[in-house]
Amino acid sequence: MTPSQLAGTFILEAEDLLNQIEEVVLDLDKNTADPEAVNRLFRAFHTIKGSGAMFGFDAVASFTHQVETVLDRVRNGSLAMSRPLVQLVLNARDHIKILLEKSADVPASVHVAGESIVEALKALLGPSVPSAAIIPAAIPAAIEPAFAANAPASWRIYFRPAHNIAATGQNPVALLNELRALGSCRVKCDTAAIPPFDQLDPEACHLAWEVALTTEKDANAIRDVFIFIEGECELEIERLAATPASQPALAPQAPLSAMISAEPAKTAAASPSPTARAIAGKDSSVRVPSDRLDRLVNLVGELVMNQSRLSQVADRSDQSDLAVPVEELERLIAELRDTVLGIRMMPIGATFNRFRRLVHDLSLELGKEIDLVTEGEETELDKTVLDQLGDPLVHLIRNSIDHGIELPDDRERSGKPRRGKILLSAAHIGSNVVITIQDDGRGLAVEAIRAKAVEKKLVAPDSNLSEREIFRLILLPGFSTAKTITNVSGRGVGMDVVQREIDALRGTIDISSVPGQGTTISATLPLTLAIIDGLLVSLGEDKFIVPMSAVVENVELTREQRTRNNGRNVVAVRGDLVPYIRLRETFALPGDGPDVEKIVLVRMGGERVGLVVDRVLGSHQTVIQSLGRFYRDVGVFSGATIMGDGRVALIFDVGGLVRFVDGKNGISAKAPPRDSGARPLSACSINTFNT
Amino acid sequence: MTAFSSSISGTKVIEGPDARALIISTVASWHRAWKTMSDHKGELVISLENVTEFDAFGLQLLASFVQSARRSGRVLTIRGASDALREAGEKIGFSPSALGLEPDTRGMDVADLREGSATTVQ
């Protein structure tokens, strides 16, 4: 690895640690009396400091040292963890993140901000405690000056490193040196596990050490020596009963274990640090640049398309011996496709964790008390979907915090607990993932939404809208019922952005709410954006794909039915009237189409809409290709795919198509109708419109 | 790196591939060099005269060689058991016996074959 690659690896691992720090600090915010959380926090900062110094991030190392000093006081019990300290540690964590991001050229303003955090940290330490000087970055952590002097105690330390300790860049001798720096030390190496010479892997470590240490430092300081290999070694730290201040050096031949008279405190190795795991290569995961994965997915896409062509050729061919190998190839490629797409699947938990901080910060800002509860963090989604999901979820959660959850006093007055709750959950349902944001706030005011929609001419005053249709109005551009505009939300630019971004992900939004009890917003998303199951349909000579995840069922539409409806584009499906779009008319295709057409019923935001096509050809594994920049703004199609015969089939963006038809009918948000209760199709379950 | 060996009157002398260090970065070469002695039935002599740097992996290799020699009942002489080796042994916690610098604690015979700078274990 080159130095810049090493630095890059450090930054990646430091970012992981900073995410962990944020998580732990937010836990501490709820329960400040969790010693293990403080230890985890300390170790994470300690690792960042040590690694930062090692890779030349001196500003990071120096700054982190200050945080570590304070946390050391907390874990020693001489400083209490408090809410202000929690906030300070969060600020420090953010500052380190900035230092890492701007490592090449840190602006003076960032340094000033860092100094103010350091001053605040020092103020917490108080005048009675000598403030630890900023250590030179290269000095190993374990030989830093003591933070506080304690009475000397004797310790027995046993550690057996992992065989591959050398591969981690760690050296047992360096660890022994660090222990020596803590106090007087006697070391005994256990050589019993060394294999016979001809079976020995000379670069693997088969040794263990038993160390008798007399030091003023506590168990944490000793454990910190092993911080880079914790989880990668057997480690026992035991405090001996006798205080050996006056004890002479151990007799050379005496086994160290004989020194142990009691074992009141035994510290086992803690859970592995990510840095140690990553360096040791024992993690079952490998970091791969996402563009390489994208390339792999694209190649598999090409393979799927070519296999499809090959299958068609084989079908047309008279050579029957082609059938078996082509089928086998099809099976293998399907397996390869699933495996490769599986590589890009990531649990949504990391995305969820980002919102804990958001909830914490906004709650403070707005004077609210809110718990964020997450469920289904293990639910996996394609990384591409996850990457694009963050912004809409931020909007939704901000709205819940700002408009949904009431102030604590207001909640109390209405008989609710002072602390509000936002439940963020994810679950697989069929080939989709449903992400739900549920709050226990005041709920949506149906009448206020309706009045605002009428005022903004989004719906006609006499329109007959169901509650669910009214809720969906908040997704229209420019809609906001907030009485005051805050810097959190209330400008009406959030929810339509959410709608657009969820559309772009081929997803749908559903809203339900109970006044006084809260609001639930569900986003249903496809698992992946790369290859989808599609329903292949035809219109004239052209073929199109309807994403299968949106398809509910197919029904027939006869010429007679159309005539009977007198031009109203609705069809009765088991007693319900469902609006439909005649795509042949929408796209101005020549001819009148077959006598019996097919209606593909799709679900959009909890409502059904029909798409009338000439024929339904069947399901199709669809490798999604982008349309290119010339067609970027065509909202009706979300992409294209290449068929087995080499022809292109466009993929419908169902939401975009419905909005396009709304607009074409003059009932879009920009030009709302004033007549007879016509409503945007995107907000209706029953509509009558012509294309 | 090349290992040098010579055989004089049934005594096989092996010098390491790197004359100055018996450490993690050189242990594989030392291992290969010393392995060439495995077929030798007579007395073995390891030359460490010029080695000034040892680490845990180097001492582990040496200890393994000493143990194997003991188990096979062969005579092994460590030539040039320097202060550096003794200091490293002490610092890293290896007993002199484990490194072949002193008699095996099980009381096997030891004979100095070279003017105070070599130790033989059997």
Which phi-psi region, left, alpha or beta, contains residue A84 (left: φ > 0; alpha: ψ -120 to 50)? alpha
Cβ contacts (< 8 Å) between B35 and chain A: which residues?
197-198
A176 to B55: CB separation less than 8 angstroms, yes or no: no
Sort out which chain B residues have CB atoms less than 8 A from A257's CB and list them: none
The whole-angstrom separation of Cα A433 and Cα A508 is: 11
Helices A654-664 and A495-504: angle between axes, nearest 10 degrees: 120
How high is the pLDDT of residue A555?
Answer: 92
Q: How far apart are CA A210 and CA B90, in angstroms?
A: 13
A173, A195, A211 ranked by CB distance to B64: nearest: A195
At residue A600, does pLDDT exceed 50? yes
Please answer yes or no on whether A202 and B38 come within 8 Å at the CB atom: no
Q: Under a CB-based contact definition with an 8 Å cutoff, are residues A194 and B67 in contact?
A: yes
- pLDDT for the residue A527: 72
- Determine contact, residues A649/A543, Cβ cutoff 8 Å: yes
Nearest to A38 by CA among A91, A66, A80: A80
Q: Is the distance from CB of B108 to CB of B122 less than 8 angstroms?
A: yes
DSSP A56: T
Q: What is the pLDDT of residues B50-78, one digit of tens each?
A: 888 899 999 999 999 888 888 887 778 88
Chain B residue at shortest CA distance from A185: B91
ipTM confidence: 0.80
Looking at residue A656, its pLDDT comes to 80
Mark yes or no for CB contact B92/A187 under 8 Å: yes
Q: Which residue has the higher pLDDT, A338 or A268?
A: A338
- Listed residue (A40, A23, A610) closest to A374, CA to CA: A23
Contact (CB<8Å) A203/B28: yes
pLDDT above 90 covers a percentage of chain A that reads: 17
Q: Which residue has the tokens 């030798």?
A: B40
* Nearest-CA distance B57 → chain A (Å): 7
Predicted pLDDT of residue A288: 79
List of chain B residues whose C-beta atoms are within 8 Å of the C-beta of residue A189: 56, 59, 92-95, 98
pLDDT value, residue A537: 94
Bigger pLDDT: A142 or A125?
Answer: A125
pLDDT of residue A304: 84
With bands split at pLDDT 50, 70 and 90, how would you rate the model's confidence at A664?
low
- Which of A187, A198, A200 shows the shortest C-beta gap to B93? A187
Q: Report which residue type is found at A400.
A: S
Write the residue in A166, A176, A198 that is nearest to B92 by C-beta.
Answer: A176
Largest CA distance in chain B: 37
Distance from CA of A265 to the nearest CA of B (A): 24
Show residues of chain B in contact with A205, CB under 8 Å. Answer: 56-57, 60
Residue for token pair 């975009």:
A656
Query: What Cα–Cα distance (Å) separates residue A79 from each residue in A22, A76, A153?
Result: 20, 8, 22
Per-residue pLDDT, A150: 61
Residue carrying the six token digits 């990391």:
A350
Residue A549 CB-density burial (10 A; 0-12 exposed, 13-18 middle, 19+ buried): buried
Residue A301 near residue A340 (C-beta atoms within 8 A):
no
Higher pLDDT, A143 or A394: A394
pLDDT of residue A410: 93
**pLDDT tens across A45-69, in order?**
888 887 787 777 888 888 988 888 8
Q: Is the pLDDT of residue A183 over 60?
A: yes
Q: Which residues of A touch B68 (CB under 8 A)?
A: 196-198
Nearest chain B residue (CA) to A194: B64
- Report, as an integer, the average pLDDT of A136-152: 43
B interface residues, A as partner, C-beta within 8 Å: 24, 27-28, 30-31, 34-35, 38, 55-57, 59-61, 63-65, 67-68, 71, 91-95, 98
The C-alpha atoms of residue B102 and residue B94 are separated, in whole angstroms, by: 12
A119-123, A663-667, B19-23 — which is least confidently predicted?
A663-667
Q: Can you spell out the DSSP letters for A577-636?
A: EEEEEEHHHHTT-SS---SEEEEEEEEETTEEEEEEESEEEEEEEEE-B---GGGTT-TT
pLDDT at A43 over 70: yes
The alpha-carbon gap from B115 to the nearest alpha carbon of chain A, in Å, equals: 27
Per DSSP, A196 falls in state: P
* Cα dist from A451 to A404, A475, A481, whole Å: 19, 15, 9
Dihedral angle sign, alpha carbons of residues A401, A407, A410, A412: positive
Cβ distance A202 to B31 less than 8 Å, yes or no, reads yes
Average pLDDT, chain A: 78
Tokens of A532: 């989808």
B/e letters for B43-78, b = 16+ CB within 10 Å, e = fewer, are bbbbbbbebeebbbbbbbbbbbbbbbbbeeebbbbb
Kindly indicate the confidence band of residue B10, based on its pLDDT and cuts at 50, 70 and 90: low
pLDDT at res. A70: 86
Residues of chain A contacting B27 with CB distance shorter than 8 Å: 202-203
Segment B39-55 mean pLDDT: 80
- Which alpha helices (H) appear in A281-417, and where do they start and end? 290-316, 323-343, 349-366, 383-399, 408-413
pLDDT tens string A255-289: 444 433 333 334 444 444 444 443 344 445 677 77
- Of the candidates A172, A188, A200, the beta carbon closest to that of B56 is on A172
- Which tops the pLDDT comparison, A212 or B50? A212
Position A225 scores a pLDDT of: 83
